[in-house]
Structure 1
Amino acid sequence: MGSFFRSHGFKRFMILVGIAIALYLMRSMINLILLTFIITYLMNRLSMKLTSTIRKYVRLNEKLIIVTLYLLFVAGIVGVVYKYLPLLSQQITQLFNLISAFNLNPNDNEITRYLAPTFEKIELGKYLEQGVNIIFENITNIGKVIMQVLIAVILSLFILLDKKRIIEFTMKFKDSKLAPLYNELQYFSKIFTRSFGKVIEAQFIIAAVNCILSVIALSILGFPHLIALGMMIFVLGLIPVAGVIVSMIPLCIIAYSIGGFMYIVYVLVIVAVLHAVEAYFLNPKLMSAKTDLPIFYTFMIILFSEHFLGVWGLIIGIPLFMFLLDVLGVTSTEDMKAKSIE
């Protein structure tokens, strides 16, 4: 029994538990920690790709590229806040009013005659009114959110500009009395950036592509409030599987309001095409190193992570689970195929 408590695996497990406890004690700062990590990881990946591409033609300092990217990023945030935030809040209100005013006329046809009592029982307007109230409560805290984003951007910029010195200084702990702890933390950090970071990157890219293609298709169909719809599609696109299902509800309601059941068919076709692009092109390209999760696992992870982590859980639940699978040494589908070939 004593050998078990002295084993390397047990020590590694206790260090992981210690990290979890430390993060729990810092839960009031979790927004800042997650934002800083996500921005740093994504901007580092983008700057490295841009640097390698530009240096094929012009010799530029990587720090100059990093600073330029951050200036463009901050300019984008400021532009959105001052120019599009009022328009966005107005469109969200109009969008909810449009959905809450949605009504199926029982005299239209047999289908609407069947669906009308169901929608009356759901009391859609009541739930949407509550949703509007929640949104406006969050808008009142928009200053706090923007401040957290700006602090995360500044911290991220300092990390990337000074990453070589940070790595060199951190390496000093390797030969110190904290060497055992350093080795384990280095092990976890490598796995974390490889699994968690890669999945987060893929989720953001997939959500952005789906948002752009969806807005283009919806604009062709003549949908109103495209900025609000685009924001909704992007945010829900960060939630694997469930985000697509949730986004279909308001889209189908708006489609019926402006064009009847034929427009609902159009929306379903658009969603099916985008889902096919994601499943057969984006996912294999961006998440080739991931373990393929059954839909049941995906929904269960989202449910539990939302319960324990709140809204953040919807976004980081899957990447966090992938990190735990990597730590536990769960073999991915591709690794299993490779081994079977060998």
Structure 2
Amino acid sequence: MVGLWEKIKKNTDIRRTLVLIIICLILYLIRSIISLILLTFILTYLIIRIVEGLHRFVKLPKKLIAVIVYVAIIVIFYFSITVYVPKLFNQTLQMIEEVFNFYQKTTPDNRFYDWISANVGFKEIKDQLTTGVKVVFTTLTSIGSMGVTLVMSLLLSFFFIIEKDWVTQFAKAFYHSKIGLFSQDVGYLGKKFVNTFGVVIEAQVIIAIVNTILTSIGLIFMRFPQGQLLSLGLMIFVLSLIPVAGVIISCIPLSLIAYTVGGVQDVIYVLIMIIFIHALESYFLNPKLMSSKTDLPVFYVFVILMFSEKFFGVWGLVIGIPVFVFLLDLLDVKVDHKKGSNKLEQIE
């Protein structure tokens, strides 16, 4: 038994695989606070990147910049909850009401919509959507589990950033302890995780912001109702965080609303706009932000999203691709997309 343990200690790949399994088991046991862990990591990573970016232009101490950033975040959250969330709530309910009222109107020559009205329970769907929206906004504006998680994540990320050097030194002290080998493997996996998962999450957020801005500008030019732009902007941003599938899903509500605004012509304009923005994301933003890290076939993307949603719930739609990319990086698998072919090659 001692000999086997010594062999495992000497075999780096097996040892790190066992450490990864142990970490996964620990995460499974504490899965009730997985939202807190993920949100803390994402906020910490993104805010560190913001602080470092601002530090290049503003020669102030990083801790001072971090404090200013967190104060700005708190102010934004305060005004969002007290001013913009109520507006967003009213706009969303109004948009649902307008869309369903439009599609419930029947004309003598429109048999298609007569058939839909006869076979689809518009009232039940509208009631469920309205109830769902009310529940979501009540949760956002109340001190519930989501609010506590967000506050705790902000606090943890703030203290980590303020004491980053101390936290790093304290963690490295374990490298020379009785669990030094285990700690070093955890540090190696953590570094890999940050360099892949963090980069992909950052890129997804940037792409989501760009998509939201460009789509909102397009909707303004198409003369979408001003009262719906805030709700649509939030929907586009959230769906843009889901790779590939988010773009496809967003086509459905945007097309339905476009038809109520300008008929088939506006639906075509919306589809052209989404195709253009998706092309910009695929051929410009993704290569610039993530290089070949997420150069995955669409088939794999959908399979990953299906499984990750099953295991992680709603979080899986956001973190599924980053986790898969982390595993690829850990296994030293390179995605080769040369000359129009997709190949997975093992790096030697």
**Same fold per superposition (TM over 0.5):** yes
Contact 1:251–1:267 (8 Å) recurs in 2? yes
1:126-153 deviations in whole A, cap 9, x for unaligned?
4443233223223332232233212211
My pick for the range that moved more, 98-107 or 216-225, is 98-107
Please give the secondary structure, in 2, of the residue aligned with 1:292. coil
Match of 2:212 in 1: 211
- Name the CA distance, whole Å, in 2 between partners of 1:276 and 1:121: 37
1:319 equivalent in alignment to 2:317 = no
1:22 equivalent in alignment to 2:26 = yes
How many angstroms does 1:119 deviate by?
7.4
User: Within 5 A, what are the aligned runs for 1:13-52?
Assistant: 13-52=17-56
The Cα RMSD (Å) is 2.5
Q: How many residue pairs are counted as aligned between the two chains?
A: 332
1:332 equivalent in alignment to 2:330 = no
Match of 2:279 in 1: 276
Gaps of 5+ in 2: none
My pick for the range that moved more, 69-78 or 119-128, is 119-128
How many angstroms does 1:121 deviate by?
4.3
1:75-94 deviations in whole A, cap 9, x for unaligned?
11111111011111111111
Contact 1:66–1:160 (8 Å) recurs in 2? yes
How many angstroms does 1:166 deviate by?
0.7
Runs of 4+ with deviation above 4 angstroms:
1-5, 104-109, 112-116, 118-125, 334-337
Match of 1:248 in 2: 251
- Name the CA distance, whole Å, in 2 between partners of 1:270 and 1:123: 31
- Taking structure 2 as the reference length, what is the TM-score of the superposition? 0.88
- Name the CA distance, whole Å, in 2 between partners of 1:35 and 1:245: 26
CA gap 1:262/1:85 in 2 versus in 1, 3 angstroms: same
How many angstroms does 1:250 deviate by?
0.8
Gaps of 5+ in 1: none
Please give the secondary structure, in 1, of the residue aligned with 2:334. coil
Match of 2:70 in 1: 70
My pick for the range that moved more, 100-109 or 225-234, is 100-109
CA gap 1:280/1:301 in 2 versus in 1, 3 angstroms: same
Tell me the amino acid that sits aligned with residue 312 of structure 2: L
1:5-48 deviations in whole A, cap 9, x for unaligned?
83433332221111111111111211111111000000101111
How many angstroms does 1:220 deviate by?
2.0
Contact 1:210–1:233 (8 Å) recurs in 2? yes
Please give the secondary structure, in 1, of the residue aligned with 2:255. helix
My pick for the range that moved more, 200-209 or 8-17, is 8-17
- Name the CA distance, whole Å, in 1 between partners of 2:280 and 2:114: 34
1:82 equivalent in alignment to 2:82 = yes
- Name the CA distance, whole Å, in 2 between partners of 1:289 and 1:87: 40
Tell me the amino acid that sits aligned with residue 239 of structure 2: L
- Taking structure 1 as the reference length, what is the TM-score of the superposition? 0.89
How many angstroms does 1:247 deviate by?
0.8
Contact 2:305–2:316 (8 Å) recurs in 1? yes
Q: Give percent identity, aligned residues only.
A: 41
CA gap 1:171/1:96 in 2 versus in 1, 3 angstroms: same
Contact 1:101–1:125 (8 Å) recurs in 2? no
CA gap 1:303/1:152 in 2 versus in 1, 3 angstroms: same
How many angstroms does 1:154 deviate by?
1.5
Contact 1:302–1:318 (8 Å) recurs in 2? yes
Contact 2:240–2:246 (8 Å) recurs in 1? yes
CA gap 1:101/1:301 in 2 versus in 1, 3 angstroms: farther
Match of 2:171 in 1: 170
